[in-house]
Amino acid sequence: MAKNRPKKRSYRMINFKVYYDTDQDLLDWWEGIEAGERSDAVRDLIREQLGVARRKPSKAPIIDLQELLEVRRDTLWIRDALNEMPNYLERLVQHIAGSTVMHIPSAAVGQHPARASPEPSLTDVDAERRAKRMKKATW
């Protein structure tokens, strides 16, 4: 039994070049569209420019080019700010370190200051009791 296969649709491929130096906004837009919906998006844009109504409703809304340019400009600003941040923080720390006099306590490094109320030492009985409890303890 032969299956009734629908006839293949005939088509024509339309190609055009997009340059990295002058058309980065178009490339960003293109990469933002899901792989299966790119042709539909381009068809919708061309029909919109021609003033022809769409044949079927679009799956994804078309982003206005002006909005896309704003997003790109904001993204570039954020990237530049993040790239500059380590240098800015280093300059800030150097400025603060240079303008602040550091106070070093007179006690030697590694020594603890004397306590106001020292702990009483354990009696022999308490020390023995503690040792027995430590032997019984399970960790």
Question: What is the domain partition of the chain in residue ranges?
Answer: 14-62, 64-96
Q: Which band of pLDDT confidence, cut at 50, 70 and 90, is reported for residue 21?
A: very high
50-102 tens-digit pLDDT: 888 776 665 666 667 788 888 889 999 999 999 999 999 999 888 888 876 55
pLDDT of 135 reads 82
Cα-to-chain-centroid distance, residue 89:
19
120-131 tens-digit pLDDT: 677 888 888 888
Output 55-62 pairs: Cβ under 8 A, ≥24 positions apart. Answer: 60/33, 60/34
pLDDT of 124 reads 86
